[in-house]
Amino acid sequence: MHCGPPDMVCETKIVAAEDHEALPGAKKDVLLTAAGGMWPPLPAAPPPAPGPQPRDGTGGAGPPAGRGVCIREFRAAEQEAARRIFYDGILERIPNTAFRGLRQHPRTQLLYALLAAFCFAVTRSLLLTCLVPAGLLALRYYYSRKVILAYLECALHTDMADIEQYYMKPPGSCFWVAVLDGNVVGIVAARAHEEDNTVELLRMSVDSRFRGKGIAKALGRKVLEFAVVHNYSAVVLGTTAVKVAAHKLYESLGFRHMGASDHYVLPGMTLSLAERLFFQVRYHRYRLQLREE
């Protein structure tokens, strides 16, 4: 199975302006101030430890997401912690996609209703007819699990297999972690594409035990600051998230919803007939304009 870079948790592209000249210092300061004004102020971060200048250009540990939480660059020793957070976050998508995600697909709901009606017309049995929805939901769970585990297999053998090599060494890429009491509780990545002068925001995920503390918003802010410092003009976000809270997060960061598609092919999909019947995702696109092109 071909494993391209998966995009399930969160995919964002930061689109460079047509003119790639560096901004004058004063103008860059204005942009950083404007970008910071999109969100409520956070407490000041502690001063960074002496050492080489971070590659993100936005300071050492990054702004704290809440009391005791800070955003800083990934370290090689945190590989397994980052993979665990990513893995656990993706596993949550199995029931969400199978059950909650069905509400996003009215045609599939109609098809399932017709199947139940057909069963009753053939068997005249209320018991068998009532078992049809349960069977269909069980099949949705089976195929959601099958596809999402295949997606995870791809991701854990591509970029998430060696975060240091994939994100920290190439120019224009970076990986950040949210740290609380010495433990990694959230992750986010940015990766450059030189051929079209874009940067993708990938792998945003927060440990379920530490959600609701502003950590995800702080991770998003870090990438937006990265975009401003490196003179990109807009952030474009793509996601297959089902939960309303995820979409509210993007909107709170200033993103505008640009449309959705039901024809997105997730890495790990085989596009078999059964899979088409029992597994669907909706791909949403968001955009945040940082400055005029």
The two structure tokens encoding residue 168: 């920290």
pLDDT the model gives residue 227: 81
pLDDT the model gives residue 1: 56
**Residues β-bridged to residue 232:** 16
- 8 A C-beta contact, residue 65 and residue 219: yes
pLDDT the model gives residue 30: 42
Q: Taking CA 223 as the corner, what is the angle to CA 33 and CA 54, rounded to the nearest 5 degrees?
A: 90
Per-residue pLDDT tens listing for the chain (293 residues): 556 554 554 544 444 443 333 344 444 444 444 444 444 444 344 444 454 556 666 554 444 444 588 999 999 999 999 999 999 999 999 999 999 888 888 999 999 999 999 999 999 999 999 999 999 999 999 999 999 999 999 999 999 999 999 999 888 788 999 999 999 999 998 877 666 666 777 899 999 999 989 999 999 999 888 888 887 777 778 888 888 888 998 899 888 898 999 888 888 888 899 999 999 999 998 888 877 65
CA separation for the pair 238, 247 (Å, rounded): 11
pLDDT the model gives residue 95: 94
pLDDT the model gives residue 173: 84
The two structure tokens encoding residue 206: 């927060």
Kindly give the interhelix angle for 244-252 and 215-229, rounded to the nearest 10 degrees: 40
